[in-house]
Amino acid sequence: MAKQNQTLGEFIIEKQTEFKYSSGELSKLINAIRLAAKVVNHEVNKAGLVDILGTAGETNVQGEQQQKLDVLANDAFIRTLTNREIVCGIASEEEDTFVKINSSDRNNQNKYVVLIDPLDGSSNIDVNVSVGTIFSIYRRVTPVGTPVTEEDFLQPGKNQVAAGYVIYGTSTMLVYTTGHGVNGFTLNPAIGTFYLSHPNMIYPDNGRIYSINEGNYVHFPQGVKDYIKYCQTEEDDRPYTSRYIGSLVSDFHRNMIKGGIFIYPKSSKATDGKLRLLYECNPMAFLAEQANAKASNGFERILDIQPTELHQRVPFFCGSKKMVEKAEEFMQKYR
């Protein structure tokens, strides 16, 4: 039973011992993410009010360098995590390669690497639609005290120790898991505190919402086309409702609460789909499984995929168990 008015800070301390490597390092790391999320939230809320929507590299009237919000969010997360010296490396969707964090005591003793998509769905900013930050945390596989290598980041999603997202929506929420269920916290902007508002989030087993960019229909594999037709057929509890924001975090969040499936398939134009395995699909898949849902590439579990490159893309089917299983059935027919 959730405690009344429990803050995220209190929750992190309470749960610290639940975690199998409870040195406190992971808690500090999630605290740093909480802080960076508040910084980004502040900036996102100013979008449209101040001269912040310009292209990165431009100079504003004050002669200051303008930054796009996704660049700003990237800097906020990297800076916060770097300054606090709590990770040994960061990989970001916004960076070509991973960042090694040097520690002031020369040998970085930190065990964790973080992968982030600092502002996912950022094309939605200009039209005042919700965007999000996605994060994923692993223990490094190379020895502590040595510089991180790509190997530390190219781990299958099942190795994640924590993952989550921040949704900058009608209210700002931080939703995360450390492998013991999924909990959601809503920001009270007046005092800058996240409160536990959605304890133990669970995807409904089945749902009536399908989320896919149907504009690409002609380019989809036949299995996906057939599944879309299934969703639209009048039978039993169908036709389903179509909802697609084009902002993964928002589409996922809605589907987790209401029940639904999100699909970003491969297409004849994008042979591996669009979404990134490490920054988008793995963290969402970990959250989905922790919330009793399912995530696959149409055939195999997302969390089992061995990544081969940092910016690897993968088809993504994620949501209510029964819906994902039904979509997979259609995919199997054309395997």
Please give the residue ranges that form the binding site for Mg ion (CB under 5 A).
Answer: 117, 120
**Residue among 103, 213, 242, 292 that touches ligand AHM (CB under 6 A):** 213
What Rg value do the Cα atoms of the chain yield, rounded? 20
51 is in an annotated binding site: no
- Greatest alpha-carbon span in the chain: 65
CA–CA dist 43, 273 (Å, integer): 30
Rounded to 5 degrees, φ, ψ at 270 are: -125, 100
Question: Please, which residue, 92 or 108, has the CB nearer to ligand AHM?
Answer: 92
**Is residue 140 within the footprint of ligand AHM (CB under 6 A)?**
no
Question: Please, which residue, 281 or 303, has the CB nearer to ligand AHM?
Answer: 281
165 is in an annotated binding site: no
Question: Please, which residue, 264 or 317, has the CB nearer to ligand AHM?
Answer: 264
Question: Please, which residue, 10 or 95, has the CB nearer to Mg ion?
Answer: 95
Number of residues that bind ligand AHM (CB under 6 A): 11
181 binds, among ligand AHM, Mg ion, none (CB under 5 to 8 A by kind): none
Alpha carbon of 14 to those of 3, 17, 38, 88, 167: distances in Å?
A: 11, 7, 21, 25, 24
What is the sign of the dihedral through the CA atoms of 67, 73, 74 and 75? positive
Options 20-28, 83-91, 120-128, 288-296: segment touching ligand AHM (CB under 6 A): 120-128
CA–CA dist 193, 80 (Å, integer): 18
Sheet hosting strand 316-319, strand order edge to edge: 241-242, 209-211, 260-264, 316-319, 294-296
226 is in an annotated binding site: no
> What are the start-end ranges of the E strands in 121-244?
131-139, 162-168, 172-177, 182-188, 193-198, 209-211, 241-242
Question: What does the buried/exposed string (b/e) look like for 174-183 if buried means 16 or more CB atoms within 10 Å of the residue's CB?
Answer: bbbbbeeebb
25 binds, among ligand AHM, Mg ion, none (CB under 5 to 8 A by kind): none
**Is residue 246 within the footprint of ligand AHM (CB under 6 A)?**
yes
274 binds, among ligand AHM, Mg ion, none (CB under 5 to 8 A by kind): ligand AHM
- Shortest approach of ligand AHM to residue 281 CB, angstroms? 10
**Residue among 32, 71, 248, 287 that touches ligand AHM (CB under 6 A):** 248
Alpha carbon of 4 to those of 9, 16, 30, 333: distances in Å?
A: 14, 19, 21, 50
**Is residue 120 within the footprint of ligand AHM (CB under 6 A)?**
yes
Question: What does the buried/exposed string (b/e) look like for 14-42 if buried means 16 or more CB atoms within 10 Å of the residue's CB?
Answer: ebbeebeeeeebbbbbbbbbbbbbbbbbe
122 is in an annotated binding site: yes
Residue 303 is given by DSSP the state G
Cis peptide before 307 (omega within 30 of 0): no
- Shortest approach of ligand AHM to residue 243 CB, angstroms? 12
Question: Please, which residue, 12 or 263, has the CB nearer to ligand AHM?
Answer: 263
Options 115-123, 160-168, 193-201, 285-293: segment touching ligand AHM (CB under 6 A): 115-123
- Shortest approach of ligand AHM to residue 278 CB, angstroms? 12
Instruction: Report yes or no: 149 and 89 within 8 Å, Cβ to Cβ.
Output: no
Q: Who's near 72: CB < 8 A, 6+ residues apart?
A: 40, 43, 52
319 binds, among Mg ion, ligand AHM, none (CB under 5 to 8 A by kind): none
164 binds, among ligand AHM, Mg ion, none (CB under 5 to 8 A by kind): none
- Which residue positions form the known binding site? 93, 117, 119-123, 213, 244, 274, 280
Q: Which residues are documented as binding site for substrate?
A: 120-123, 213, 244, 274
* Binding site per annotation, positions for Mg(2+): 93, 117, 119-120, 280
Contact footprint for ligand AHM (CB under 6 A): 93, 117, 120-122, 213, 246-248, 264, 274
